[in-house]
Amino acid sequence: MEAAPKHWVMSKNDGKSYLKKSIQKGDYYIKEVPDWELDENKLAARNCPVNIITVQSK
């Protein structure tokens, strides 16, 4: 979350990170980001202590 605060927020209620302005599809939340913000979101995925963030590029 700290690597890409524009896209991620941590809940004060449960301590989990949430993807801002995303669309839920089944069990997943999806959001398209510009190419220049891809690296910071990949870093957020690498830094995630529970490995729940996945970043894919088209």
Q: Indicate the domain borders of the chain.
A: 1-58
- b/e sequence 15-36, b meaning 16+ C-beta within 10 Å: eebebeeeeeeeeeeeeeeeee
d(CA 7, CA 21): 8
Query: Model confidence over 24-46: pLDDT tens digits?
Result: 999 889 999 999 999 999 998 89
Q: By the 8 A CB rule, do 33 and 20 touch?
A: no
Write down the pTM of the prediction: 0.76
Provide the pLDDT for residue 22.
94
Tell the CATH topology of 1-58: Alpha-Beta Plaits (3.30.70)
